[in-house]
Amino acid sequence: MNINTISSHLLIVLLLPISLMVSAQGQRQADAGEILHKIQKLNIVGSALYVAAHPDDENTRLISYLSNETKVRTAYLSLTRGDGGQNLIGPELREKLGVIRTQELLAARATDGGQQFFSRANDFGYSKTPKETLNIWDEEKVLEDMVWVIRNFKPDIMINRFDHRTPGTTHGHHTSSAMLSVKAFELAADSSAYPNQLKYVDVWQPSRLFFNTSWWFYGSREKFAEADKSKLTSVDIGVYYPLLGLSNNEIAALARSQHKCQGFGTDLDRGEQSEYLELIKGNWPNRQKDLFSDLELSWNRLENGLTIGQMVQILEESFNPAAPEESLPLLLETRKQILELPDPYWRKIKLAEIDEIIKACIGLYFEFTAEEATACPGATIEVAMEAIARNPVPHKLTLDSLVISGLSIDTSMHLTLGELARVNQDHKWYHQATISENEDYATPYWLEYPWQQGMYTVPDPLKRGAPEDPPAYEAEIHLTLGEHNFTYTEPLQHKKVDPAIGEIYSPFYITPPAVVSFEEEVLVFADDQVKTARVKVKALQDSISGQLKITAPKGWVIQPQEFDIAIQSKYDEVAFEIKIQAGKKATSGDLFAAVIDESGKRHGYQLSEINYDHIPKQLVLLPTQTRLIQLELEKAGDKVGYIMGAGDEIPSALQQVGYEVELLEEENITAAHLADFDAIVIGIRAYNTIEWLNRKQSILFEYIEKGGTLITQYNTSYRLKTDQIGPYPLKISRERVTDETAPMKMLDEKHPLFNYPNLIEEEDFSNWVQERGLYFAGEWDERYSPLLSAHDEGEPDRLGSLLIAPYGKGVFVYTGISWFRQLPAGVPGAYRLFANLLALSQSQTQP
């Protein structure tokens, strides 16, 4: 296999011009200003790679500047897809959030003109140091992916967002991204590093590595203003682009605003603004405000490039925005020269660029759409094709054939598209096509195989680094213009028209004939509860019949375990109820469900549809399963009032084990109503997010005084809407324990918290997830007792994760323990300890 025959995702991505990116609004032809901008870019032969850890780390101001002002090919390598964060626009978390953020990064790049890459690393949550991060990521594999991206993309310069020399000052993922980037910078050029890659790519040595510093690394804007900048260079990223009608910083803000699930919509900046960089590697003899100084970015860097550079110069000077087709003769001449370039790498890239420019100058438009949004292997679909050339052309333009190899569509048309006499004639065809029985189902390639905390599994080395999968089907459009042969590609999409919106495009997906889902991701059983779970089966083909089979882990009693199913129309759904009970010997495990169709095929996938306006619709298929958790739990009191803060799933987690939970709104918080509850729990960041809560503090404290238990979960001290979070003085810090296996020491084993109604032992602190806790209390009045101590490696004991203070006849608790992660994940020890918290005021009256 050589570089010309492999169909690597990454190579496809590398050659994909930005204008092909298709959004929910469909494709748009470049206007005349944009065409000229593309011609100017054609005249630059160079590349830059920006490196950081997460979606949103990237400095869109610099990426846009490099792409639109310096006009080099620019890419962002984000080591993770940001799977560990919060979602401000919907319910998706973890791997599904990673899918959203992947698309948001692609939307940001489509705005700022960059390309996007990733590694296999995943965002497993916060870590304080690169040491912690690199214990969980597989450092070798992340480096391998970075080297792969560098050898594919061949950047002249690399830019790190973070400082590799200051571990512990920011998220461990951040510092790790910079440390690994410094290593990858050297390794990419070393033929003994990852030699398997050399079957597909050559070694590559970037010339320079920079660190993109900012005031943030100095603590404040004032400190940065005073700092010694003799070792830094700066560029003005406020430049205005008249061809695009936007300032660079406006483009950057529009790109950054694509990070909607992180709430990063931002206002648009205009005017002069400096961006600062420090040289980390490589030499830079001529320190001007030019990161590429002394590096050749013109066609002169390529053998036989000189003439092409001169031709592109003339193209730029002679371009007529009112008649872009006047540039076609010279464009075709230039293309001929590009085809003869000895350098195969730049030949491919520049050919793709000039072909896009030619397409825009002819006003060529192609569209391939399917009537159905999804289809199954074996199904027949209706495909519509449209082709039109809207500008006159100097030679005969023929559409020779349309090929969609996966769908066995191959037409030889020899249709004249753009002869002067027939300019602007729209051509449409309709075809029936059958999807092969062996076609793979669509799901993001990094989620296809089971993965671990820290790393996704991508066995095919050629898929690594790519932001997403190629489309299910692509049409190849073969054209002849004079003596030139062109091949354009266009993805098959689904198109519908919504009367309130207009055209809506979405990727076309191949799915299984049926998908199966459980309503809950986790079911928690305390003792011998019998629970009813709902299983839904949805047909994704015209009809499906067979059986739904439930497979339980050992020791569980499930009834029934089998259902006959017969669904008669596509997208219809039927629901079944099963009763689940833990038998005597039941241990926690996974419950599976699958449809066995009449031919005996098993379909055990659940389908998540991720649908937002700013990104193309995404489908994610994962095995249908729900986790059954068996735990021994005693409860004392069962009526809990819950005040929801920033949003968490604790109320339903408590309901699962039999608590009666009422969500309390402002109007329910009266002394009389609160008297009904055994405990009141305040949701995460409630004092940061709820305006009215501070006004209810006196009623809540009065509730404690009369004998109630009030449990306040973590808040941040920044934007705290009260100065009295507890009945006695208490200050919230930024202390956290991120290692979920860090030993937890009980400071007073005799305290009711560890004894009533559940006896808490060391084992109760095992199998926790993600972290121990965050935003612990930092300083507190002596009337509070800290009851747990824990610390991350190399740090002193942190005592503020759980404070208890008697107040009147009741008890107040402040706790930074991450209950909002442990309870929904079904961690048994966390449930037992939380049940004891809820019982605190009753335990006071126990003998």
Residues forming the site for Zn ion (CB under 5 A): 54, 57
Q: Which residue is nearest to Zn ion (CB)?
A: 54
Q: Rounded to the nearest whole angstrom, what is the least distance from the CB of residue 456 to Zn ion in the complex? A: 18
The count of other CB atoms within 10 Å of the CB of residue 391 is 17
- Write the CB contacts of 642 (distance below 8 Å, at least 6 apart in sequence): 650, 651, 654, 661, 662, 663, 664, 680, 681, 682, 683
CA 298, CA 310: separation in Å to the nearest integer? 10
Nearer to Zn ion, 22 or 75 (CB): 75
Instruction: Give the containing element (helix H, strand E) for 533.
Output: strand 530-539
Q: Which is nearer to Zn ion, 137 or 659 (CB)?
A: 137
Nearer to Zn ion, 82 or 786 (CB): 82
3-state DSSP percent of the chain in helix, strand and coil, to 5? 30, 30, 45
Measured from the CB atom, the residue of 57 and 83 that comes closer to Zn ion is 57
Closest distance between Zn ion and the C-beta of residue 186, in Å? 24
Bridge partner list, 477: 402, 488
Q: Name the residue nearer to Zn ion (CB basis): 71 or 173.
A: 173
- Integer CA distances (angstroms), 816 to 124, 404, 540, 682, in order: 19, 56, 45, 12
Q: How far is the CB of 56 from Zn ion (least distance, A)?
A: 6
CB of 250 to Zn ion, least distance (A): 24
Specify whether the CB–CB gap between 682 and 711 falls below 8 A: yes
Structure token digits, residue 703? 């509730």
Q: Which is nearer to Zn ion, 57 or 112 (CB)?
A: 57
Q: Using alpha carbons, list the distances in angstroms from residue 637 to 427, 514, 644, 683, 829.
A: 73, 44, 21, 19, 19
CB of 160 to Zn ion, least distance (A): 13
Shortest reach from residue 73's CB to Zn ion, in Å: 24
All residues at 6 or more sequence positions from 28 whose CB lies less than 8 Å from its CB, including other chains: none
Q: Which is nearer to Zn ion, 101 or 538 (CB)?
A: 101
**Residue 98 to residues 114, 118, 250, 608, 667, Cα–Cα distance (Å):** 19, 11, 26, 13, 38
Nearest distance in Å: CB 172, Zn ion: 10
Q: Which is nearer to Zn ion, 58 or 740 (CB)?
A: 58
Min dist CB 175 to Zn ion, Å, is: 11
Between 53 and 253, name the residue whose CB sits nearer to Zn ion: 53
Tokens of 579: 């009763």
Residue type (1 letter), 97: L
Q: At its nearest, how many Å lie between Zn ion and the CB of residue 105?
A: 12
Distance CA 678, CA 841 (A): 8
- Min dist. Cβ of residue 820 to Zn ion (A): 21
Provide the token pair at 203: 């070694």
Pairwise CA distance, residues 127 & 113, whole Å: 32
Cis amide prior to 329 (ω within 30 degrees): no
Q: How far is the CB of 123 from Zn ion (least distance, A)?
A: 8
Exposed/middle/buried for 99, CB within 10 Å: 0-12, 13-18, 19+? buried
User: Which lies closer to Zn ion via its Cβ, residue 55 or residue 752?
Assistant: 55
Cβ closer to Zn ion: 467 or 726?
467
Residue 514 CB, shortest distance to Zn ion, in Å, is 39
Nearer to Zn ion (CB atom), residue 63 or residue 777: 63
Contacts of 516 (CB under 8 A, 6+ apart): 535, 536, 537, 538, 548, 593, 594, 595, 603, 604, 605, 606, 624
